[in-house]
């Protein structure tokens, strides 16, 4: 095998230390996914209280900055719970606060987010360039992999203000084009970038600082998390203003599907479940279904239970869901929903649940273990997203035999095979797809799902097809490693 590549993966969240969405699942799973391909991944995270807590008190500082964008910071070295190397940027003025990674207790973005994440990018560029030394010897990285806008200034620093003259290649991954990190132009002088960086081809975007844009313009390669989304973001409907740049850099844009961590998401070994099962013992799902009914106060029955596990947002089509509840119940379905987000959506869902006691159960909040039990006890997972760069919950649904009912977009289009007559005849169907996120499309998809569910042998065939799909990281880990190697040897 060729020599080991040392990659610095820079992210604002990673399981199991800090998570607000799928980015954390991916950043947390990448080191193990890449190890078999000769890549040693070190993850760099901001030192939020939860991350520092996981490091323990005896951690050593391996580097310090007297002034990192105006604040003092240290770099702590440790390991992720799975043993892969972890670096934590300990800058108390930026990260030592209660609340979520991006927002305060009231749900408002932290006013200094530009500084919190520019500091992460600056630190990443220094570390990758070799700022950290061991026994007097500098320890540079072969490549930087920056995730989303929060890490996307790293490639801009590597390009416009590198730590050394040696070129460090970089990759930016777009997990969601809707979040771009745009800030007032007044912050630019505080970034420590040369004036040349303030250009159409640099960090300037619509008169302000565009952090994702800066990364897209500066990185050696751009990836996003599914082939279909890689195509979609070439259009204005999905590119959200950055479509021109994506088209211009088309030769450097790659769609690499996310995988799932089979150590965490496997119904045969999942300790959260009432009963563990595989595609050979589907009848054991019944115990999980009964447990789910009890947990959500649903009537007992053999009719289908739809589950939803999601952020309650417009992206996820959750504004349309309350409208179809009467239809869902009318055709014999039940719903168990876990999510949090938009207050108006939460209210509408509660109203729907009040209209349909025993048929619609709503849990507002965030609960990892419950999300596992829902995938194991539900019959179908409903994902009516308006756009979905990859989506992980449909992959978990496939692995658990909870068939995905999805809008045909992004990663949902790439991972679910619609149970149309041709796919049924070919024996490869794994779920239901529909076009357009509106009442008619959703209602029709729900009806079609209930009809399929009415035939137990047919439904079980679909479940077996779904559970046999391989959405582990093996193929995608290989794809990232190939890309890294190409860039590192260019």
Which residues make up the interface to ligand GLC (CB under 6 A)?
A: 21-23, 26, 175-176, 225, 258, 388-392, 411
> Do 241 and 149 touch, CB atoms closer than 8 A?
no
For ligand GLC, give the closer residue by CB, 28 or 401.
28
For ligand GLC, give the closer residue by CB, 46 or 202.
46
Residue 398 in the binding site for ligand ADP (CB under 6 A) = no
Shortest distance, position 308 Cβ to ligand GLC, whole Å: 15
- Distances in Å between the Cα of 265 and the Cα atoms of 194, 317, 318, 399 are 46, 25, 25, 7
Residue 21 in the binding site for ligand ADP (CB under 6 A) = yes
Q: How far apart are CA 300 and CA 292, in angstroms?
A: 10
Residue 338 in the binding site for ligand ADP (CB under 6 A) = yes
Q: How far apart are CA 214 and CA 205, in angstroms?
A: 8
Residue 225: which of ligand GLC, ligand ADP, none does it interact with, CB under 5 to 8 A by kind? ligand GLC
For ligand GLC, give the closer residue by CB, 142 or 232.
232
Shortest distance, position 387 Cβ to ligand GLC, whole Å: 8
User: Pseudo-torsion of CA 262, 265, 267, 268, nearest 10°?
Assistant: 30
Q: How far apart are CA 132 and CA 138, in angstroms?
A: 6
Residues forming beta bridges with residue 75, ordered by sequence position: 63, 89
> Do 259 and 476 touch, CB atoms closer than 8 A?
yes
Stretch near ligand ADP under the rule CB under 6 A, chosen from 126-134, 160-168, 249-257, 360-368: 360-368
Residue 339: which of ligand GLC, ligand ADP, none does it interact with, CB under 5 to 8 A by kind? ligand ADP
338: helix, strand or coil:
strand
Stretch near ligand ADP under the rule CB under 6 A, chosen from 18-26, 133-141, 156-164, 353-361: 18-26
- Which of 226, 162, 205, 273 minimizes the C-alpha distance to 395? 226
Name the pairing type of β-strands 204-205 and 208-210. antiparallel
For ligand ADP, give the closer residue by CB, 18 or 75.
18
Q: How far apart are CA 413 and CA 7, in angstroms?
A: 30
Stretch near ligand ADP under the rule CB under 6 A, chosen from 40-48, 113-121, 309-317, 418-426: 309-317
For ligand ADP, give the closer residue by CB, 22 or 401.
22
For ligand ADP, give the closer residue by CB, 172 or 260.
260
Q: How far apart are CA 243 and CA 250, in angstroms?
A: 10
Residues near ligand ADP (CB under 6 A): 21-22, 25, 309-311, 338-340, 366-368, 371, 390-393
């Amino acid at each position: 095998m060729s020599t080991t590549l040392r990659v610095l993966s820079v992210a604002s969240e990673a399981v199991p230390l800090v998570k607000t969405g799928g980015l954390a699942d991916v950043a947390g799973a990448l080191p193990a996914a890449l190890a078999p391909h000769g890549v040693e991944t070190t993850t760099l995270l901001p030192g939020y209280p939860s991350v520092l807590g996981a490091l323990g008190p005896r951690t050593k500082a391996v580097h310090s900055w007297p002034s990192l964008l105006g604040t003092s910071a240290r770099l702590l070295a440790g390991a992720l719970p799975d043993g892969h190397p972890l670096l934590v940027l300990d800058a108390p003025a930026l990260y030592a606060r209660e609340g979520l990674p991006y927002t305060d207790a009231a749900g408002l973005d932290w006013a200094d987010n530009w500084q919190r994440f520019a500091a992460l990018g600056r630190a990443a560029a220094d570390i990758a360039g070799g700022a950290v030394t061991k026994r007097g010897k500098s320890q540079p990285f072969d490549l930087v992999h920056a995730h989303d806008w929060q890490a996307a200034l790293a490639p801009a620093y590597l390009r416009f203000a590198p730590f050394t003259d040696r070129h460090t290649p970089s990759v930016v991954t777009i997990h969601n084009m809707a979040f771009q990190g745009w800030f007032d132009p007044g912050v630019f002088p505080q970034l420590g970038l040369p004036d040349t960086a303030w250009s159409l081809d640099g960090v300037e975007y619509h008169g302000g600082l565009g952090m994702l844009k800066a990364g897209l313009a500066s990185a050696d390669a751009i990836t996003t998390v599914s082939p279909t989304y890689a195509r979609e973001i070439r259009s204005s409907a999905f590119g959200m203003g950055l479509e021109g740049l994506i088209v211009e850099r088309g030769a450097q844009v790659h769609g690499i599907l996310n995988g799932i961590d089979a150590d965490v998401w496997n119904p045969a070994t999942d300790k959260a479940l009432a009963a563990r099962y595989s595609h050979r013992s589907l009848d054991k799902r019944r115990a999980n279904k009964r447990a789910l009914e009890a947990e959500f106060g649903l009537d007992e029955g053999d009719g289908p239970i739809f589950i939803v596990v999601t952020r309650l947002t417009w992206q996820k089509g959750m504004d349309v869901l309350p409208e179809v509840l009467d239809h869902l119940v009318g055709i014999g379905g039940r719903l168990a929903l876990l999510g949090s987000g938009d207050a108006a959506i939460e209210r509408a869902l509660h109203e729907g649940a009040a209209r349909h006691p025993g048929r619609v159960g709503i849990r507002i909040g965030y609960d990892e273990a419950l999300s596992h039990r829902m995938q194991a006890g539900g019959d179908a997972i409903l994902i009516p997203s308006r756009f979905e760069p990859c989506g992980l919950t449909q992959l978990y649904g496939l692995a658990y035999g909870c068939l995905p009912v999805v809008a045909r977009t992004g990663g949902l289009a790439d991972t679910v095979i619609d149970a149309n007559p041709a796919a049924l005849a070919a024996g490869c169907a794994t779920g239901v797809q529909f076009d357009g996120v509106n009442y008619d499309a959703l209602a029709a998809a729900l009806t079609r799902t209930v009809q399929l569910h009415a035939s137990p042998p047919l439904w079980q065939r679909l479940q077996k097809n779904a559970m046999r799909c391989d959405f582990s990281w093996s193929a995608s880990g290989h794809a990232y490693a190939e890309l890294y190697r190409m860039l590192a040897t260019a």
